[in-house]
């Protein structure tokens, strides 16, 4: 990892440490609802991941663990990983508050093989706002492959790379579709509270669909499906309207564009 990339990660860590307390208090994340028994998982991932009961699940970039703990409520044996110290502290606190057994690891996902060593998982899961924080998807896919048991499942649902070409309310193209290197910005607020007094540097990367898929194929994973969705399940952009439960589209674009994609891939079990 170059010194420059390390500095980008440090800045992003500080950003997520600043966002986390705001997110914890936000209606967007609805912690009281979660504590009362609600799941934060959406129909898309609930329908597409497959059976999780009794399976070990590694959640990459878990933020403060609401989805991780929701998977535990579905019967999975969960481990969540995030590099925000504040997020992992809250995840651990909530796990004990709702009495759910869960392991939370504070780490950069790229360093995880040195931390969890040879531990293997039936499912590796990641969702909504993940790969845009990662400079190198080949290394990301190596980490996924490293942790998957033979026959195990990798699943991602995230915002479509089409969306990341645009400004926040999808009015004009501002960024390259392709990965043209780091995108350095200083944005105000956060998607869970646009008025929050946060204004810090952030560093992201755009990844076209081909880069995501090829990174997984290059690790020998077998792609089971790639789906694209004409709505977002999270109300996290400007100018959205609600069209159904957990379904939002831009007011001026409706269903015309892809908002999210999902991929499920399987690691072979070595039997030909």
Ligand X SMILES: C[S@@+](CC[C@H](N)C(=O)[O-])C[C@H]1O[C@@H](n2cnc3c(N)ncnc32)[C@H](O)[C@@H]1O
Nearest residue (CB) to ligand X, 115 versus 251: 115
C-alpha distances (whole Å) from 106 to each of 80, 124, 141, 142, 190 are: 9, 17, 19, 19, 22
CB of 256 to ligand X, least distance (A): 25
Among 52, 109, 124, 157, binds ligand X (CB under 6 A): 109
Q: How far apart are CA 87 and CA 123, in angstroms?
A: 22
Q: Retrieve residue 111's tokens.
A: 């360093």
Nearest residue (CB) to ligand X, 131 versus 265: 131
Helix, coil or strand: residue 79: strand
Are the C-beta atoms of 130 and 207 separated by less than 8 Å? no
Nearest residue (CB) to ligand X, 35 versus 54: 35
Among 8, 12, 94, 143, binds ligand X (CB under 6 A): 12
Q: Looking only at residues 126 through 155 of this chain, which bind ligand X when binding is defined by CB under 6 A?
A: 127-130, 133-134
Query: If residue 213 lies in a helix (H) or strand (E), which one and from where to where?
Result: helix 209-217
Question: For the chain, what is the largest distance between any 2 Cα atoms, rounded to a whole number of angstroms?
Answer: 56
Report if residue 66 touches ligand X, rule: CB under 6 A.
yes
Query: Beta 148-159 vs 77-82: how paired, if at all?
Result: unpaired
CB of 263 to ligand X, least distance (A): 16
Nearest residue (CB) to ligand X, 104 versus 250: 104
| CA-wise closest residue to 59 among 43, 77, 45, 79 | 79
Binding characters for ligand X, 33-62, by CB under 6 A (x = yes): ----------------------------x-
Q: How far apart are CA 149 and CA 257, in angstroms?
A: 36
Nearest residue (CB) to ligand X, 82 versus 122: 82
Q: How far apart are CA 102 and CA 91, in angstroms?
A: 9
Report if residue 262 touches ligand X, rule: CB under 6 A.
no
CB of 271 to ligand X, least distance (A): 33
Give the interface segment with ligand X, choosing from 77-85, 162-170, 205-213, 248-256 (CB under 6 A): 77-85
Query: Beta 102-106 vs 77-82: how paired, if at all?
Result: parallel
Nearest residue (CB) to ligand X, 129 versus 230: 129
Q: Looking only at residues 177 through 206 of this chain, which bind ligand X when binding is defined by CB under 6 A?
A: none
Report if residue 63 touches ligand X, rule: CB under 6 A.
yes
Q: Which long-range contacts (CB under 8 A, 24 or more apart) does 11-15 make?
A: 11/200, 11/201, 11/202, 11/203, 12/83, 12/133, 12/202, 12/203, 13/83, 13/84, 13/85, 14/200, 15/198, 15/200, 15/201, 15/202
Nearest residue (CB) to ligand X, 133 versus 248: 133
Helix, coil or strand: residue 155: strand
Give the interface segment with ligand X, choosing from 81-89, 165-173, 206-214, 241-249 (CB under 6 A): 81-89
Residue at shortest CB range from ligand X: 129
Among 41, 44, 58, 87, binds ligand X (CB under 6 A): 87
The residues binding ligand X (CB under 6 A) are 9, 12, 16, 61, 63, 66-67, 82-84, 87, 108-109, 127-130, 133-134
């Amino acid at each position: 990892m170059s010194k420059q990339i390390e500095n980008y990660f440090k800045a992003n860590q500080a950003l997520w440490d600043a966002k986390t307390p705001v997110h914890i208090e936000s209606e967007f994340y609805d912690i009281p609802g979660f504590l009362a028994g609600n799941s934060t998982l959406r129909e898309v991932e609930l329908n597409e991941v497959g059976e999780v009961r009794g399976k070990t699940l590694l959640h990459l970039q878990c933020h403060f663990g609401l989805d991780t703990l929701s998977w535990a409520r579905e019967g999975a044996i969960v481990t969540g990983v995030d590099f925000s110290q504040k997020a992992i502290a809250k995840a651990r606190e909530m796990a004990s508050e709702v009495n759910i057994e869960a392991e939370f690891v504070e780490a950069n996902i790229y360093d995880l093989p040195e931390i969890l060593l040879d531990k293997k998982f039936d499912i590796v899961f990641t969702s909504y706002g993940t790969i845009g924080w990662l400079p190198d998807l080949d290394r990301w896919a190596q980490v996924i492959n490293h942790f998957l048991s033979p026959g195990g499942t990798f699943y991602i649902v995230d915002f479509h790379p089409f969306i990341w070409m645009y400004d926040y309310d999808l009015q004009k193209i501002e960024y390259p579709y392709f990965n043209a290197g780091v995108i350095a910005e200083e944005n105000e607020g956060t998607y869970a509270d646009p008025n929050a007094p946060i204004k810090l540097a952030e560093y992201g990367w755009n990844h076209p669909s081909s880069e995501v898929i090829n990174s997984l194929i290059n690790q020998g994973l077998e792609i089971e499906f790639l789906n694209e969705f004409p709505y977002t399940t999270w109300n996290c952009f400007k100018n959205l309207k609600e069209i159904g439960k957990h379904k939002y589209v831009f007011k001026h674009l409706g269903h015309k564009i892809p908002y999210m994609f999902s991929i499920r891939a399987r690691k072979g079990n070595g039997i030909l």
